[in-house]
């Protein structure tokens, strides 16, 4: 199975799970100010495959606390390779990359404590694509003409050191949302 | 040692000669060295450029040329880092490709150029240096466009300051840079004009002089409802009208008039029943037009409000005179990008960034014609002559 096939399957499963919990998120009042990090790959909803049998609600809950998963709570508006899968973490860049100072900010709901947090999606730059754990979630995403709410830009563009070579995306907690 | 090698070579030659003398009848002629294929000087209207950002290895952008009639892969261009798309000269005699390179592959000095390619040999014949500001984004047609007479190439910059690079294609020189604060991309409206879309839903209507410098700049009134139901930036043009579709499926028309840019007819791709069934447009290059039949093609899928980039398994076709759907084309595979050829026997091309198969349909009947496998890595925009 190619990387893209795997990604498409994972994305489809992730989307399916996310769709099912959208009502829950809505009722909790989660505000997903969607913006992303980089050129993205849209989700293959048309090619969606059913979730693998045996996946339980417990698995689903765990995914929201696993920074290597697309379903991780901080990734509510991320778009790209997850730095937690690339030698970094949800907040730290992998060795040898540069964290872009230009960022966009979203608000994600943490189901573990029931609190909304402001999330800063800084990209890690200066190397080729990490290629692992591709994740694209488009909540509240806007077109390119609303730049700081659009996940279609490569936000490494703001890095004077590394410029546009995009490696992966972090999802840093900035503060509790008020 | 030399003796042994010489003896071995002699044995091989002897065997080869015997094999030759044993053959009766015609033999295959020896092939000359150094033969390189070329393409006809005039492109077929049924060719398509499949542009590929190569997302997993973005320093290796590609543009791949396929013949829709035969399904034959005709050749490709190597187009550098974060590639968006090729722009074909109006007379078909040149290919423009805005490209980015780094002196050490993914680091070092950044150089942005417009590379000029010979469309017959698919090899570079020149380049124009431009400021290293070209926007790196998910590829859109409006990232680079020619003015209507082909004199100027417009390239969107994002650093994150927004501007448009203007290249004079006649002198093959960088002509200047136009600041477009708050406004993105370039949509041509005439021989010396274009607009950008602004974050407030207005348009920046820009006119150029013959040197490619700004002669007038007007910030129009709001044309789109950005906060409630934004239009995508994936507009298509039919003559003096640009068509944009909103996330929710409303078509907005922007008319190019002697009085400036005006809001034209607004209509929906969806009936009330279809809207209730969650049908909506989606995809990366989600719209296409066929000018002579005045048809609009839209990739459609069923999904929620956050699925505006999802691919679809249907293409809905609309009569642009009556604003009515005239056809539903069922695709074999989900498509995020479509394009329709300009001729009177148009083909519909369909691709998806998560697949490497290009599908070809009869655009008038919707009949599936063929699939072309292994076209690129992450195909994005489809560009036809």
Q: DSSP readout, B317-367?
A: EEETTTTEEEEEEEEEEEESEEEE-SSSS-EEEEE-TT---EEEEETTT--
- Residue contact A144–B137, C-beta within 8 A: yes
Residue B100 has a CB neighbour count (10 Å cut-off) of 25
Would you state the pLDDT for residue A33?
25
Say whether A152 is catalytic: no
Whether chain B has a CB inside 8 Å of the CB on A126: the answer is yes
- Residue contact A39–B82, C-beta within 8 A: yes
- What is the spatial order of strands in the sheet that A98-99 belongs to? A98-99, A123-125, A166-169
Determine phi and psi for B39, rounding to 5 degrees: -105, 160
Q: Comparing C-alpha atoms, which of A62, A59, A82, A52 is closest to residue A70? A: A82
pLDDT in tens, B192-251: 999 999 999 999 999 999 999 999 999 999 999 999 999 999 999 999 999 999 999 999
Among the options A104, A152, A154, A155, which is catalytic? Answer: A104
- What is the spatial order of strands in the sheet that A105-110 belongs to? A105-110, A115-120, A172-176
Would you state the pLDDT for residue A160?
77
- The β-bridge partners of B194 are B188, B206
Would you state the pLDDT for residue A35?
28
- Residue contact A45–B310, C-beta within 8 A: yes
pLDDT in tens, B33-71: 999 999 999 999 999 999 999 999 999 999 999 999 999
DSSP E strand stretches across B73-143: 73-80, 87-88, 95-102, 110-118, 123-130
Would you state the pLDDT for residue B20?
52
- Residue contact A146–B199, C-beta within 8 A: yes
- Are A129 and A102 in contact by the 8 Å Cβ rule? The answer is no
- Are B318 and B271 in contact by the 8 Å Cβ rule? The answer is no
Residue B9 has a CB neighbour count (10 Å cut-off) of 10
Whether chain B has a CB inside 8 Å of the CB on A152: the answer is yes
Q: Give mean pLDDT in consecutive 10-residue pieces for chain B, a chain of 385 residues.
A: 49 48 76 97 97 96 98 98 98 98 94 98 98 96 98 97 98 98 98 98 98 98 96 98 98 97 98 98 98 98 91 98 98 98 98 97 98 98 98
Among the options A71, A79, A123, A152, which is catalytic? Answer: A123
Would you state the pLDDT for residue B365?
98
Question: For strand B368-372 and strand B379-383, is the pairing parallel, antiparallel, or unpaired?
Answer: unpaired
Whether chain B has a CB inside 8 Å of the CB on A81: the answer is no
ipTM comes to: 0.92
- Residue A96 CA to residue A102 CA, distance in Å, equals 18
- Residue A17 CA to residue B204 CA, distance in Å, equals 41
- Residue contact A41–B353, C-beta within 8 A: yes
Opening angle at CA A64, ends A61 and A70, nearest 5: 125
- Residue contact B378–A41, C-beta within 8 A: yes
Give the best residue of B133, B204, B354, B357 to mutate against chain A (max A CB count within 10 A): B354
Of A46, A141, A143, the CB nearest to B312: A46
- Are A67 and A81 in contact by the 8 Å Cβ rule? The answer is no
Of B106, B137, B310, the CB nearest to A128: B106
Number of cross-chain residue pairs from A and B with Cβ atoms under 8 Å apart: 147
Would you state the pLDDT for residue A139?
73
Of A22, A42, A147, the CB nearest to B284: A42
- Residue contact A157–B333, C-beta within 8 A: no
Residue B56 has a CB neighbour count (10 Å cut-off) of 18
Say whether A123 is catalytic: yes
- Residue contact A138–B309, C-beta within 8 A: yes
Would you state the pLDDT for residue B24?
66
Burial B300-314 (b: 16+ CB within 10 A, else e): bbbbeebbbbbbbbb
Of A19, A46, A143, the CB nearest to B301: A46
Whether chain B has a CB inside 8 Å of the CB on A146: the answer is yes
Kindly state the DSSP code that residue B246 receives in the 8-state scheme. Answer: B
pTM of the entire predicted model: 0.86
Of B137, B160, B183, the CB nearest to A102: B160
The minimum CA-CA distance between B309 and chain A, rounded to whole Å, is 6
- Residue B252 CA to residue B232 CA, distance in Å, equals 10
- Residue contact B232–A143, C-beta within 8 A: yes
Whether chain B has a CB inside 8 Å of the CB on A17: the answer is no
Q: Give mean pLDDT in consecutive 10-residue pieces for chain A, a chain of 178 residues.
A: 39 36 26 30 33 42 84 89 96 96 83 92 94 87 90 86 91 91
């Amino acid at each position: 199975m190619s990387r893209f096939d795997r990604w498409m399957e994972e994305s489809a499963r992730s989307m399916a799970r996310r769709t099912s919990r959208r009502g829950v998120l809505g009722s909790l009042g989660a505000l997903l100010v969607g913006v992303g990090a980089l050129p993205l790959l849209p989700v293959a909803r048309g090619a969606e495959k059913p979730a693998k049998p045996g996946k339980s609600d417990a698995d689903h809950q765990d995914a929201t606390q696993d920074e290597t998963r697309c379903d991780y709570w901080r990734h509510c508006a991320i778009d790209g390779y997850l730095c937690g899968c690339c030698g970094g973490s949800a907040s730290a860049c992998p060795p040898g990359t540069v964290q872009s100072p230009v960022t966009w900010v979203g608000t994600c709901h943490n189901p573990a404590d029931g609190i909304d947090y402001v999330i800063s999606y800084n990209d890690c730059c200066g190397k080729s694509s990490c290629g692992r754990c591709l994740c694209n979630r488009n909540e509240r995403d806007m077109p390119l003409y609303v730049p700081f709410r659009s996940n279609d830009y490569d936000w490494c563009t703001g890095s004077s050191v590394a410029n546009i070579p995009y490696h992966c995306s972090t999802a840093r907690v900035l503060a509790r949302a008020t | 040692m030399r003796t042994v090698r010489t003896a071995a070579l002699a044995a091989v030659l002897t065997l080869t000669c015997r094999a030759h003398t044993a053959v009766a009848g015609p033999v295959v002629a020896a092939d000359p060295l150094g033969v390189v294929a070329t393409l006809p000087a005039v492109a077929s209207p049924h060719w398509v450029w499949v542009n590929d950002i190569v997302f997993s290895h973005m320093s290796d952008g590609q543009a791949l040329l396929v013949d829709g009639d035969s399904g034959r892969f005709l050749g490709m261009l190597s187009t550098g880092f974060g590639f968006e798309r090729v722009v074909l000269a109006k007379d078909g005699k040149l290919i423009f490709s805005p490209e980015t390179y780094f002196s050490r592959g993914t680091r070092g000095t950044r150089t942005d150029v417009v590379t000029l390619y010979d469309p017959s040999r698919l090899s570079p014949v020149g380049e124009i240096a431009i400021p290293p500001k070209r926007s790196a984004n998910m590829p859109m047609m409006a990232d680079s466009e020619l003015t209507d007479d082909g004199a100027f190439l417009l390239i969107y910059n994002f650093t994150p300051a927004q501007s448009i690079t203007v290249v004079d294609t006649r002198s093959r020189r960088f002509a200047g840079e136009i600041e477009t604060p708050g406004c993105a991309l370039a949509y041509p409206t005439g021989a010396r004009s274009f607009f950008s879309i602004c974050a407030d839903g207005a348009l920046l209507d820009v006119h150029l002089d013959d040197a490619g410098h700004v002669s007038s700049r007007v910030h129009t009134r709001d044309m789109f409802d950005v906060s409630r139901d934004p239009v995508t930036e994936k507009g298509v043009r039919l003559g003096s009208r640009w068509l944009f579709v909103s996330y929710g499926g409303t078509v907005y028309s922007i008319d190019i008039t002697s009085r400036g840019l005006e809001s034209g007819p607004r209509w929906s791709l969806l009936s009330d029943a279809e809207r209730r069934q969650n049908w909506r447009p989606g995809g990366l290059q989600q719209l296409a037009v066929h000018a002579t039949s005045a048809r609009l093609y839209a990739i459609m899928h069923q999904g929620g409000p956050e699925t505006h980039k999802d691919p679809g398994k249907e293409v809905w076709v609309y009569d642009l005179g009556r604003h009515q759907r005239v056809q539903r084309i069922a695709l074999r595979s989900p498509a995020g990008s479509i394009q329709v050829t300009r001729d009177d026997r148009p083909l519909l091309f369909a691709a998806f960034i998560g697949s490497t198969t290009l599908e070809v349909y009869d655009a008038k009947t919707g009949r599936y014609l063929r699939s072309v496998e292994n076209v690129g890595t992450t195909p994005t925009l489809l560009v036809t002559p």
